[in-house]
A and B are shown apart, each in its own frame.
Chain A
Amino acid sequence: DVKVTQSSRYLVKRTGEKVFLECVQDMDHENMFWYRQDPGLGLRLIYFSYDVKMKEKGDIPEGYSVSREKKERFSLILESASTNQTSMYLCASEGAYEQYFGPGTRLTVT
């Protein structure tokens, strides 16, 4: 079974802090994704990566950056956290268009 893990289930940060969210997959997938999910807005794609050191902007990249130094690891970075970045963050790994999600990180920015 594919396993996708995320570094934290719950995180509370202060406005202006730099936040790192890490995601690791064990299926040797090339494609990895970061989404945020908010009530009424569905899943929104922040960034995705099709290969090591490769990244593409999704639909809402503003305020975020990513890093993919190794195939199995895809990190999301909030350069300066703001309250409007309070959300559920989901990482996914993809093989043959099937996405496998981690358990999510519930981030609260105060």
Chain B
Amino acid sequence: TQLLEQSPQFLSIQEGENLTVYCNSSSVFSSLQWYRQEPGEGPVLLVTVVTGGEVKKLKRLTFQFGDARKDSSLHITAAQPGDTGLYLCAGASWETSYDKVIFGPGTSLSVIP
């Protein structure tokens, strides 16, 4: 059974601090996505990474895909209250006949002003 794990589960930090959240699996993924979900809303796609070792930047957010395509990290620089939300990673694997996307449980981030 494929499994995506995320850590930490919860994170509460002060505005201006830096943070990193992690997404790990024993499976190899053909691509990996990061989403942010605000309370009461659906998840919104932030980025897709497809190449091992790939780094993508989205303003203060930096996403990295592991060399073996089994893990990923999201680093936020100088966090702001608007970054508060649930961060989900999701991966598409070659290990199912339908190449189905699976989601991790999420990291709940709270940025305190």
Q: Tell which of A50, A90, A101 touches B98, judged by Cβ atoms closer than 8 Å.
A: A50
**With an 8 A cutoff between CB atoms, is A94 at the interface?**
yes
Chain A, interface SS category: strand
The reply to whether B45 and A100 form a contact with Cβ atoms under 8 Å apart is: yes
CA of A98 to CA of B2 in the docked complex: distance in angstroms? 18
CA of A98 to CA of B89 in the docked complex: distance in angstroms? 11
CA of A90 to CA of B42 in the docked complex: distance in angstroms? 7
Q: How far is the CB of A41 from chain B (nearest CB, A)?
A: 8
Chain A residue at minimal CB-CB distance from B101: A97
With a CB–CB cut-off of 8 A, which chain B residues contact A97? 30-31, 33, 48, 92, 99, 101
With a CB–CB cut-off of 8 A, which chain B residues contact A106? 40
**With an 8 A cutoff between CB atoms, is A26 at the interface?**
no
CA of A88 to CA of B80 in the docked complex: distance in angstroms? 27
Q: List 9 A-B contacts (CB under 8 A).
A: A42-B105, A50-B98, A92-B42, A97-B92, A102-B42, A103-B41, A104-B40, A104-B41, A106-B40
Chain A residue at minimal CB-CB distance from B6: A42
CA of A106 to CA of B90 in the docked complex: distance in angstroms? 23
The reply to whether B33 and A101 form a contact with Cβ atoms under 8 Å apart is: no
CA of A62 to CA of B40 in the docked complex: distance in angstroms? 25
With a CB–CB cut-off of 8 A, which chain B residues contact A92? 42
Query: How many A residues have CB within 8 A of the partner chain?
Result: 19
Q: How far is the CB of A19 from chain B (nearest CB, A)?
A: 19
Chain B residue at minimal CB-CB distance from A100: B45
**With an 8 A cutoff between CB atoms, is A56 at the interface?**
yes
Which residues of A in the span 77-98 have a Cβ within 8 Å of any Cβ on B? 90, 92, 94, 96-98
Known: A42-B106, A90-B42, A97-B48. 6 other contacts (CB 8 A): A94-B101, A97-B30, A97-B31, A101-B42, A102-B42, A104-B40
With a CB–CB cut-off of 8 A, which chain B residues contact A8? none
